[in-house]
Amino acid sequence: MPELPEVETVRRGLAPVMEAVQIAKAHVNRPDLRWPFPENMADRLTGATVQQLRRRSKYILAELSTGETLLIHLGMSGRMLISGDPLGRFQHDHPAPQKHDHVVFEMANGARITFNDPRRFGAMDLLDTATAPQHPLLASIGPEPLSNDFNESYLIARLQGRRTPIKSALLDQKIVAGLGNIYVCEALFRAKISPIRHVNTLKETEVRPLVSIIRQVLSDAIEAGGSSLRDFRQANGELGYFQHRFDVYGREGDPCRTPGCAGVIGRITQSGRSSFYCPQCQR
């Protein structure tokens, strides 16, 4: 499933051709994805101008001139692809419709945005913009890891007294938004903390660096266009490249990249997910 860097990469790709542009025509080609589309979604979107395109955790939020906000979740295989881009960065010709093109936005500037999702685990909904932050999908999400609200004091306070493994705590969206399996594995490697360490065994001197390390891992991934493992594509259809820079994720049996470390990357299962780490330099 796309994590924060992948969703942010898609948002940044869409913003230049969607923000301050009217949706001339919206097409909804099926009644549902992960859950049913809102009633009359195509009609409610047609004619609306996208005032701002934001990201909250793993959701893209398009604030509309109608007072509604379009919530988009890419799911496991969802893609938002651009064609006919008037800025000239992507292909000019619109491709032929594909089987899994479930929602299509014809923009007034000539661009076409197609939501393609073979597995149909993605989702869209229309929220009242004024109350969107209180929506059940958004209300309990923790601070954005790249924001000032996510800081050393906050993380120390939120982790205090917990007895869960540190990896499980960082995957908790109520503690910090948008982190998933890949980037927690990579952050813990850079912090030299084992994913099986229980939070209550960590010293403040070990927790404090996690904030800047998490930010750096995410920033590096966004700069590389995210990670493409199976289905992820950027809005221009290109792959992300951060997977070529993984230190531990997916590298079971490979040598540790820490200078002077003779360890081999191992894999364990935690809460049904694979955790990759170096047993020698992550303690």
| Positions marked catalytic | 2-3, 58, 273
* Residue in this structure with the two tokens 């195509």, named with its chain if needed: 42
**How many secondary structure helices (H) and strands (E) does the chain include?**
6, 10
Query: Do the Cβ atoms of 109 and 117 come closer than 8 Å?
Result: no
**The two structure tokens encoding residue 134:** 């209180």
Q: Count CB atoms within 10 A of the CB of residue 41.
A: 18
Closest CA to 199 of 175, 219, 232: 175
DSSP-based three-state secondary structure for 58: coil
Closest CA to 124 of 36, 58, 49, 64: 36
Question: Residue 244 has what DSSP assignment?
Answer: G
Closest CA to 144 of 222, 34, 50, 224: 222
Paired strand residues for 269: 274
> Residue 255 carries which side chain, given as an amino acid letter?
P
